[in-house]
Amino acid sequence: MLLSRQIRGSDSNLLQAAFYVQANEEYWSPQAHPSAGHTIMMQEVLVDEALALEHGLTSEEYSWITDKLGRTPTITELGIYSVMWSEHCSYKNSIALLKTLPREGDSLLVAAGEENAGLVDIGDDMAVAFKIESHNHPSAVEPYQGAATGVGGIHRDIFTMGARPICALNSLRFGSLSNARVRYLFDGVVRGIGDYGNSFGVPTVAGDVYFDPAYEGNPLVNAMSVGVVKPGRTASAIAIGTGNKVFITGASTGRDGIHGATFASEEISEESEMKRPSVQVGDPFTEKLLLEATLEAIAAGCIVGVQDMGAAGITCSSCEMSAKGGAGMTLNLDHVPLREPDMTAYEIMLSESQERMLIVCVQGREDELVEIFNKWDLRADCIGEVTDSDRVRVWHHGQLVAEVEAEHLVLGGGAPVYRRERRQPEYLKEIRVIPDVPDLDPASAGAALLEMLAAPNIASKAWVFEQYDTMVRTGTVLGPGAGDAAIIRLKGTDKGLAVKTDCNGRYVYLNPRRGGRIAVAEAARNVVCAGGHPLAITNCLNFGNPHKPEVYWAFHEAVSGVGEACRALATPVTGGNVSFYNENPEGAVFPTPTIGMLGLVEDVEGCTTQAAFRNAGDEIYLLTPKSWAHRTTLSELGGTEYLSVRHGLLRGDAPHMDLSEELATQQAMHELIRTGKVSSAHDVSDGGLATCLAEKALAGCLGAAVDLDCPQPFRLDALLFGEAQSRIVFTAPAGLERTIRGAIRGFAAQCSRIGTVQGDRLQITVAGATVIDMPVSDMHQAFSTAIPAIMEQAHDMAT
């Protein structure tokens, strides 16, 4: 409801006179400071509990706000609280559980959540900043810009710390490709990632893509960035030093993205399509300039603190920097460069226009800061200063439109913290039992393998990564499709970084705690197979509505599983992102705790390992925990891609995961690679052992003869396509079996020689009978054409 009235500047309720956000509304403001006692005319919004509810706050939260302020908030203050107390910014439903994760380690230079990204010391006067975040909701509404700005935002988190981004990764989830809208989303997201990353000039080197009807109405788009910096030359997101000037730099401010943080904290619905203004618009060319200018200003020493403007824009950066520094800030929005006319204070404070930074400048060096940014064709405008109070005060057209206590707004400060009700879902009682499906007929094993290789979750993702520039900056040693993890060379050293994202949401749906363990374990296993030593993780926790007890139970269990695995594998959590409300009218997505794993390769030339069969005559080994034996019962098909593809079933339990066994396998593999005895390595995961062997053959264009022995009786489908964990297939030159066994004697692991790399056919014999014998070329046809054929057919139908 809009009201007009006269008030006096001395009125104690002055701050209740607030301004609404609609661009076309008439707006008056005083010509003098209100304390002068002038009579002013203004148009006002009635701020009340109903309006607070429309902003995503609860009645209780609105009561807390009024109690804290001692009055009714202005509309600008209401907007500030609504975005800062949204789940996206405050983690109010997750922070209590996140604090249970292992967040300390000898190599960690900052605590989890302390800075914009994690920071890990890798020696040689080098540190790695890395982080993963979600842009799910924007991508569901506008896939191209949603994905593009997700890439831009995560890179800004890295270079605001003073680190230069050296690579990017992404983790994507979509519904079934048989759905036309899913194909539209898939195409738009991939193009958005490719166009932004390619233009920005940072290689996109790894990721993972899954398709399942569970993600039909709510795709997951998680973006990760990795950068390098000298440990003593980092920047902090902090405001300190009374009188230090506050600058806004980069792009001008528009109305795009307003309430994007709140939008990301609600379920996708039919009304979501109307919220395109909540999706930001990116400009990678401006971001490239911003990168160079920011790094130069940090190196010059004229920056006290800097933070990018992502969710909640100026609001989040000013409040978080002030709270961290225990200081206040005064902002004058009249000096914010705008690209649209008549923007209100509410709009300016909440805008999520991209490619912007808030900077606290060293006193006396303001001209130097401006000169640096001008050199890169960017503006740097002073919009305020640091104060010795604990409050952020916002002025617009001479009117004090907001006065808030920074600490009261931020995560870990006064933002609400909830521990929601938990309840195990009823569906688990039903789906844990697998129907007695018939075993695979040996005569159909070859056809089953081809069907698996053509399944979108296993088929080649070249259609995706060929749209990315994977080699820009010339540091990529292993890119997409070449190894289990990407390897990036650290120029000027022998070292490299091994990076990977991973999570099987199907496992987490069936058993959240075990699925969480497996997500960490497989990401680490991939890093080890590529030649790296796992150091730390960042995570992006994608779940449904936390107010639903079943969703919160799954969240609690999955986070607990992630924590258990990180402790066992000594990979602490450096930070990350929680994305709740990934639901649509049909239900929630699979609980998907995506793991971004960072590893170190000490010798890039000597230790980097590809996944492919590389040399004819090499011998093939299966590395497993010492206590492991072929498990070939029906239960081994639980949650497998085979059970889904061949029988249309999502049933059973997630695969067995013993973290001590997993660690033993990884340690043994790392030792074998370190000593130079391994030609290739690839972990057994989605699709099982037969699929793993086929993928190695396809990557190397070489065949193999494999002989598998197992106890009688056995299920052929479980043997070939069961997804038992903690297994790695590797190859080594002939004649080294005794040496290999000796090298892993100190670990609780074992290896079996199962075949030889040879010819151009994959032959698999089980208990003396050949069950698969087919040309690699036939497998290549199924594997490489599946996704392009679907997308090209859809394009042809559309045109």
Known catalytic residues? 88, 135
Strand order in the sheet with 164-174: 118-123, 126-134, 220-229, 164-174, 204-211
The tokens describing 572, both together, are 């602490």
Distance CA 774, CA 389 (A): 74
Strand partners, 208: 171
**CA–CA distance, 500 with 498 (Å, rounded to integer):** 7
Give the β-pairing of 164-174 and 204-211: parallel
| Tokens found for residue 449 | 């393998």
Q: What is the DSSP pairing of strand 533-542 with strand 573-579?
A: parallel
- 711 strand-pairing partners: none
Identify the CA nearest to 318 among candidates 398, 394, 395: 394
Q: Which 8-state DSSP code applies to residue 16? A: G
3-state secondary structure of 383: strand
Structure tokens at 368: 């130097």
How many C-alpha atoms does 34 have within 13 Å on its Cβ side? Answer: 24
**In whole angstroms, what is the distance from residue 219 CA to residue 590 CA?**
11
Neighbours of 585 (CB within 10 A): 9
Show Cβ contacts of residue 589 under 8 Å, excluding neighbours closer than 6 positions.
173, 214, 215, 218, 220, 505, 542, 543, 544, 582, 583
Alpha-carbon span 147 to 208, nearest angstrom = 15
| Neighbour-count burial of 240, counting CB atoms closer than 10 A to its CB (0-12 exposed, 13-18 middle, 19+ buried) | middle
Among 627, 612, 638, residue whose Cα is nearest residue 662: 627
415, two tokens: 């933002």
DSSP 8-state code for residue 36: G
